[in-house]
Structure 1
């Protein structure tokens, strides 16, 4: 199941191009996908992103996760160096038909976004009762 979630994003990367000067760089955050029973869990690193700056959406079986980071220097300080400059984290995944897109839960804690995806009822194993003839 977890192998069916196809990554459409790349490895962890940062882009610095002419197009990102005003919006900041785009980050491809590290992601783990694990499966247990009828749940698939997607864990995405998004350090510095506040819950109100995270957008999780599903359209045409494509799951897109986007989070923006705006880390101004503390008052009275000047930023000298930063690994994570203000910018956007983004990943996209193709959802298999076995995932119920209406039952996705998202939680952000300590810079880690956790998505809990439930399998659809049709995808869950069913026990067939055997009757005596």
Structure 2
């Protein structure tokens, strides 16, 4: 990531097309076939809009598990990116706070966990419980 992107808080993770996911009954559903980034270890997408109170980051970890988070660093409230091959997430800012897949701060100025959501794969879709 360039210093320019870090100053502006611009992440590498791209938003998932709105047609690839839906929100209903306190859950978000992602069509995994429409999200090829989530088939790759270290890949991720973010979700925004459709009535979500806050944006989400969804990641396939290096451990091949899927995770969902509130896409906001607990220090500067910038977005977060996965770090492929390193088993962690990092803030898209100059400070680069890092977090474990469990949402725990590892380094940098962030001192609090990022909010993590329960996920479950179900028939080719990812279910994220948001309430």
Please give the TM-score of this superposition, normalised by the length of structure 1.
0.29
Larger Rg: 1
The structure with the greater share of residues assigned to strand is 1
Compare relative contact order (CA 8 Å, sep 6+) and give the higher one, 1 or 2. 1
